A and B are shown apart, each in its own frame.
Chain A
Amino acid sequence: DAKTTQPTSMDCAEGRAANLPCNHSTISGNEYVYWYRQIHSQGPQYIIHGLKNNETNEMASLIITEDRKSSTLILPHATLRDTAVYYCIVRVAGGGSEKLVFGKGMKLTVNP
Chain B
Amino acid sequence: SAVISQKPSRDICQRGTSLTIQCQVDSQVTMMFWYRQQPGQSLTLIATANQGSEATYESGFVIDKFPISRPNLTFSTLTVSNMSPEDSSIYLCSTWTSGRQETQYFGPGTRLLVL
Contact = CB atoms under 8 A, between A and B. Distances in A.
A41 interface: yes
Contacts, number: 49
Contacts of B64: none
Contact of B96 (A41, A45, A98, A101): A98
Given A97-B31, A98-B31, A98-B101, A42 B108 contact: yes
Given A95-B56, A97-B48, A98-B31, A46 B42 contact: no
A105 B35 CA distance: 16
B42 A102 contact: yes
Chain B interface category by residue count: 20 to 34
A21 interface: no
The winner among A43, A44, A98, A104 for most chain B CB atoms within 10 A is: A43
Given A97-B31, A97-B48, A99-B48, A43 B106 contact: yes
B88 to A, nearest CB: 13
A101 B90 CA distance: 16
Contacts of A101: 45
Interface in A83-101: 87, 95, 97-101
Interface string B98-113: 0001111111110100
A102 B91 CA distance: 14
B80 interface: no
A42 B109 contact: yes
